[in-house]
Amino acid sequence: MSEAAVPAPPAPVVNAPRRRRHSFVRDVLFGERQAVVGTIVIVFFTLVAVLAPHIAPYSVTQQTCAPYAGLSGKHLLGCDDGGIDMFSELMWGARVSLIVGFAAAVVAMVIGGGVGVVSGFFGGRTDIVLMRITDYFLVIPDIPLMIVFAALFGRHLLNIIIIIAIIYWTSTARLIRAQVKSLRERVFVKRSRALGASNTRLIFKHVLPQVTPLLIANTVLMVAIAMFAETYVAFLGLGDPTQLSWGLLISNAFQGGAMFRHAWWAIVTPGLCVTIVILACTIVGQSMEDAMNPRLKVGHLSVKRFGLRPIPTMRPAPGRWREE
């Protein structure tokens, strides 16, 4: 993101005591204009998704107007090919899209964070093996793999979440590993090891709290990626056809011939929702990450700095920054 927009990273975050770090996250979220807007957008869509059953004006299972009826006072955003109110559909669609986005991001974060912490903390052979596996996953192109997985393992929503998570955990693992590796060498960790702290205690008490903010930032970025992936899966006809999502709405508009009926509302609105939420997640995640991980600003090698969306687009060549 723009360098001018990101304030100089305040005092060494890594050494800051616990309470200050929380206030730091708050600073990032509310200190920057774009991040504030992004946060508001995400909160807004989340609220809509949660409240959809109560605030949606029409049912999304029954026909309430003519197919592709245009915009009117009764149907604010017109209707789709089945004569269902688009406005209500968008509200309901937000639920599945956001659930898939957040769930897949959290699963990816757990896998990636776990691998990263273990690999960075223990080093040695564990590290080599885990990073090799990560390398392989990094090279395999995401969308073809997603297609194959989805085609082979069925169209259940849970499957889709797992598929997305399995494909996208790698960048988190690399990022966290690098961070943990440098943390391990810090004095406070060494001291408490000298005092007889066990590995478990070291990880949970010292390492994990330090990487958590970065993990959170990464998760927010991952939500954007996962939502992208959801629309792709749905569009290729591999999504769960019973679950109404924005991806499915885009796909329906395409399959239902909205383009030839000139029903722009059916085409434009779902994609616009996706774009806005992804934009918001990217901006918020990137602002958080920029501020929390000053290292990403260092060299040419930090792919993250150049590409905002970490993996599906900018797959770093494996081994490129093993020396971090």
Partner 1 sequence: MAGADYIIKRTFFAIATIFVAVTLNFVLFRAVPGNAVTSLRCQFCTKQFKDALSKQLGLNKSKWAQYGIYLDNLAHGDLGSSYSDHNPVLQDLETPLKNTGLMVTLGTLFSVILGILSGVFASWRRGTLTDRFNLITSLAFYSMPTQWLGMLMVFYVAAWFGLPVAGIQTPDLGVLGPVSFWTLWSNRFEHMLLPALTLGLVLYGEYTLIVRSAMLETLGEDYILTARAKGLKNWRIVWTHALRNAMLPIVTLIALSFGSIVGGAILVEDVFSYPGIGFAVIQAIDRRDYPVLQGAFLLLTVSVIVSNFIADLLYFKLDPRVTT
Which chain residues interact with partner 1 by CB under 8 A?
Answer: 1-4, 135-136, 139-145, 147-149, 151-152, 224, 228, 231-232, 235-238, 247, 250-251, 253-254, 259, 264, 267-268, 270-271, 274-276, 278-279, 282-283, 300, 303, 305-309, 312-323
Cβ distance to partner 1 smaller for residue 122 or 264: 264
Cβ distance to partner 1 smaller for residue 237 or 294: 237
Angle at 181 between CA 178 and CA 185, to 5 degrees: 145
CB of 80 to partner 1, least distance (A): 14
Cβ distance to partner 1 smaller for residue 57 or 257: 257
Q: DSSP of 134-161, one letter per residue?
A: HHHHHHS-HHHHHHHHHHHH---HHHHH
Cβ distance to partner 1 smaller for residue 2 or 200: 2
Q: Which residue, chain included where needed, has tokens 């030839």?
A: 260
CB of 241 to partner 1, least distance (A): 14
219/310 Cα distance (integer angstroms): 11
CB of 104 to partner 1, least distance (A): 16
CB of 194 to partner 1, least distance (A): 31
Give the number of other CB atoms < 10 A from CB of residue 1: 16
Cβ distance to partner 1 smaller for residue 33 or 205: 33
134/73 Cα distance (integer angstroms): 53
Closest CA to 41 of 234, 223, 289: 223
CB of 106 to partner 1, least distance (A): 21
163/154 Cα distance (integer angstroms): 11
N- to C-terminal Cα distance for the chain?
A: 22
